[in-house]
Structure 1
């Protein structure tokens, strides 16, 4: 290899290359969670797996790239980038088969193995770029420190810009699979440009030939394609997807099951709304418990619903003359509720993260419903003592907080369930607890908390309604619970079994195809 000129300006192309490939690393890492989340959820395990796999792949890439750089003569940087582009293009086609193959491994191992298979190859090739670039930019041992520092600084800067560009601009406009395809094509284009430069430096056409051949294969459509037969065999022929949208927070779908007279609203592998197809009636029992609260504590006029879902509770509260403000983090859910579940707001409709939005509220409410705990991973920051204290400050003197939590009962020994009750106890002196489906271990649990005494035998509840609630009343031993705070909140780990069970329950009911396409 000819010694490079000492002028740094002659290596501007090299710095541009490591900048772009550094950005590509972060794009793949961030988008990886979006491909995995519809199947395994957006839990800490998914993020831990992606970060670990990225670091493993980059470590291998740094090592292999350094060895290749020392030995390469006619195959250089352009080939590495071209291979990274090819492997990136294959990722969207591999998602379905890989997720199906790892499904039986469980949440933690399945998440790690699937990310390892899907993203390691392309990330290894991208990791090889920086040490190879250091070799090209170093003319003598005296300058190796400056060359190495400059290359890795520019690569890191590219990662920062790539992260911000993806999160703030690109992802809200383009789907994750389309971004993967676009990224692969950009890497191919970069490989061709680098190949042309390398050809001049090495006086060999071989450096530009490899990426050109791979790019021509793409143009002719002869790159290997992953068959979707393994996905298709899992499809539920009786189901119809009426609405599907990839939002900033996951895949939102409306799925009809005519045979069961049911319409579901799902966010990734989580059901957040269910109604009959024939009459649009709510099918979620826990919501029917919450809808009795205006009879338990009469005189309510204002309510706040955190976690709008399909919006059935808004319609039910309207029958009592209650005006309800809603907070929903995902605009796609709000759209689906309006178009497919006839959601009609009676108060303010707020789109945003609840923890931020409740700090902006100035109104006081007779009833606050916290209903964000349905699927794989709860937004645990909404179930801390600090959050509950903020909600208490929004209640009137006779106000009530209703909280829905999905978990196992485990004969009253579930630590996660006890922790929710114990945390509520730190903020509210009085609470009632109900189970949605008596006799089932896996269930919705509804906590009703207030600053004043609560009893199902007061208010305007009819005798039949009291009897219905009596069968669902539950006493939980709170002694084994943990007070959940912003500083210490192990709820996600405590709910691992629940997350795995819930995902399997929904996948079996709706069909695996709805979560891997």
Structure 2
């Protein structure tokens, strides 16, 4: 560009450009976790990968952009922005291929490499915008500090706006792929506006107008199917699966699928199974719940229960049918709450609460005779729900004879697994009494059911039959608490401690379902 000065209107246009591209950076970064999570899980490793890739790409973009800006006679902002838009546009079409290609690399390396391949090209190009804008806005050496500060301030404010707009408005209403295409279209429109500023005018506009119209057409077609896809059959992992429902939610990709050969209906969120029932009769097929259904017999006259992590809702149904216990359910994901009713026949027997447990339990009023803490799956775990502080909040909701039941997935390592021992040690910090049961004896990888209370828990003095007592005693496990660490709101490294578990679970799930079924 051959301007000797930058007037107020042109400067405002530059600030607006970096504001929008700053917003685009954050939108791409946050959407990246939503796109990769259904395959690799919404774990700390996926978040770390996306943040690292974003920082690497921006650093590279700043360097390349600065180097190029100093060596060209005419600015190329329109070209850079349009190239970023096209890189964003192809992400949905590359995702399946890239995720399947990186799967052999394992959880951590695979998540990082898939993020690098899918998102670094567009983020690098968006990072190049800042140096060009600084070059255009800096006329004299005396003004360089103000220009640089203003440009990066505008970009940062754009990132804030993009984050809030995405999280508070777009995510609850629009699918990730649609947001990417809308973002691509917005950037192409911005590129055309910048091209006019750079005196390329009509020629540049005519090149990208068909692309914009094409994106608009794809968006219109996607809007008719985004809420809940139709039933489809998929051959994966050597067997046929019937996908009854799949949808994107605020907390992951929710699927309901049938495996007719096993008479099995599954409820999954991302790469984790949170509910299972027979197709023919609808009864629960998760083994650890066989232990759960015996626990009310330990304390007579239970009337009220709280279930954290509703899943398919089988535990609440069992408590009502067998013991006439009314159960309040607390589920963070509205989509899970909905499909539990639609596909698993769950009907609330108490209050149905949708929200985050740490927030909602502070608003509840006790007392509960039984609290079932079942938020820990084979995939990523909300470790902040298993700290001393969280357990103290739950203890305050228990009646005098109440019991806390907590399900935890881990390796046993003969009762010396660090993660398992940490859970036991943390529970012991809050409750004086504790028992631990293993779901399937003989298996190292298992569901572990913790019972905790302020009073003694004696199997032999309960209403259980002798055969049921013997069945539970065979599953009782001694956990070495000395191998663990105390989990607090200040320090809860459970995800790192459970890395081997997460990798094994994911490998098992892919061996069973096949990698194809986990890719959107």
**What TM-score do the two structures reach when normalised by structure 1?**
0.94
1:326-366 Cα deviation digits (max 9, x unpaired): 10000000001000000011100000000000000112100
- Residue 198 of structure 1 contacts residue 208 of structure 1 at CA under 8 Å; is this kept in 2? no
**1:83-232 pair list within 5 angstroms:** 83-199=83-199, 205=200, 209=203, 212-216=206-210
Q: Which SS does the other structure have where 1:344 is aligned?
A: coil
Whole-angstrom CA distance in 1 between matches of 2:93 and 2:75: 28
Moved over 4 A (4+): 207-212, 217-221, 232-237
Tell me the C-alpha RMSD between the 2 structures: 1.6
Change over 3 Å in CA distance of 1:274–1:6 after alignment to 2: closer
Shift of 1:237: 5.3
Q: Which SS does the other structure have where 1:32 is aligned?
A: helix
Whole-angstrom CA distance in 2 between matches of 1:378 and 1:482: 17
Shift of 1:212: 4.5
Whole-angstrom CA distance in 2 between matches of 1:383 and 1:174: 32
Shift of 1:148: 1.2
Whole-angstrom CA distance in 1 between matches of 2:347 and 2:97: 40
Change over 3 Å in CA distance of 1:211–1:58 after alignment to 2: farther
Task: Name whichever of 304-313 and 449-458 sits farther off.
Answer: 449-458
Task: Name whichever of 159-168 and 139-148 sits farther off.
Answer: 139-148
Shift of 1:375: 2.6
Change over 3 Å in CA distance of 1:467–1:4 after alignment to 2: farther
Whole-angstrom CA distance in 1 between matches of 2:189 and 2:4: 24
Shift of 1:465: 1.1
Match of residue 39 from structure 2: 39
1:35-83 Cα deviation digits (max 9, x unpaired): 0111111111111111111011001101111122122234610000000
Change over 3 Å in CA distance of 1:288–1:234 after alignment to 2: closer
Match of residue 490 from structure 1: 493
1:79-99 Cα deviation digits (max 9, x unpaired): 000000000011111111111
**Residue 248 in structure 1 maps to residue 260 in structure 2:** no
Match of residue 421 from structure 2: 418
Q: Which SS does the other structure have where 1:453 is aligned?
A: coil
- Residue 192 of structure 1 contacts residue 212 of structure 1 at CA under 8 Å; is this kept in 2? no
- Residue 69 of structure 2 contacts residue 75 of structure 2 at CA under 8 Å; is this kept in 1? no
**1:303-452 pair list within 5 angstroms:** 303-318=305-320, 319-452=322-455
Shift of 1:16: 1.1
Match of residue 288 from structure 2: 286
Shift of 1:298: 1.6
- Residue 409 of structure 1 contacts residue 441 of structure 1 at CA under 8 Å; is this kept in 2? yes
- Residue 138 of structure 2 contacts residue 147 of structure 2 at CA under 8 Å; is this kept in 1? yes
Shift of 1:214: 4.9
Whole-angstrom CA distance in 2 between matches of 1:362 and 1:182: 44
Q: Which SS does the other structure have where 1:285 is aligned?
A: coil
Aligned length: 501
Q: Which SS does the other structure have where 1:239 is aligned?
A: strand
Shift of 1:121: 0.2
- Residue 36 of structure 1 contacts residue 46 of structure 1 at CA under 8 Å; is this kept in 2? yes
Shift of 1:510: 2.2
Change over 3 Å in CA distance of 1:297–1:89 after alignment to 2: same
Q: Which SS does the other structure have where 1:88 is aligned?
A: helix
1:184-234 Cα deviation digits (max 9, x unpaired): 1111111111101111xxxxx3x764574355467579xxxxxxxxxx985
- Residue 188 of structure 2 contacts residue 212 of structure 2 at CA under 8 Å; is this kept in 1? no
Shift of 1:496: 0.4
Match of residue 472 from structure 1: 475
Whole-angstrom CA distance in 1 between matches of 2:76 and 2:206: 14
